[in-house]
Chain A
Amino acid sequence: QQPVQSPQAVILREGEDAVINCSSSKALYSVHWYRQKHGEAPVFLMILLKGGEQKGHEKISASFNEKKQQSSLYLTASQLSYSGTYFCGTEYVRGSNYQLIWGAGTKLIIKP
Chain B
Amino acid sequence: DGGITQSPKYLFRKEGQNVTLSCEQNLNHDAMYWYRQDPGQGLRLIYYSQIVNDFQKGDIAEGYSVSREKKESFPLTVTSAQKNPTAFYLCASSDRGLGYNEQFFGPGTRLTVL
Contact = CB atoms under 8 A, between A and B. Distances in A.
**Are A and B interaction partners?**
yes
Interface of A: 2, 29-30, 32, 34, 39-44, 47, 49, 53, 55, 87, 89, 91, 97-100, 102-105
11 contacts: A2-B42, A29-B99, A30-B99, A43-B105, A47-B100, A47-B102, A87-B42, A91-B99, A91-B100, A98-B97, A98-B99
**Majority SS at the chain B contact face:** loop
B63 interface: no
Interface of B: 40-45, 90, 97-108
Nearest to A105: B42
Question: Which of B40, B43, B107 has the largest count of A CB atoms less than 10 A from its CB?
Answer: B43
A103 B43 CA distance: 8
B108 A98 contact: no
Given A41-B106, A41-B107, A42-B105, A30 B42 contact: no
Given A42-B105, A44-B103, A99 B98 contact: yes
Nearest to B106: A41
B23 to A, nearest CB: 12
A87 B106 CA distance: 16
Nearest to A50: B100
B108 A40 contact: yes
B44 A102 contact: yes
Contact of B98 (A2, A44, A100): A100
A89 B92 CA distance: 14
Contacts of B104: 44
A22 to B, nearest CB: 11
Nearest to B33: A100
Contacts of B106: 41
Contacts of A98: 97-99
Contacts of A43: 105
Contacts of A39: 108
Contacts of B97: 97-98
Nearest to B48: A100
Contacts of B43: 42, 87, 89, 102
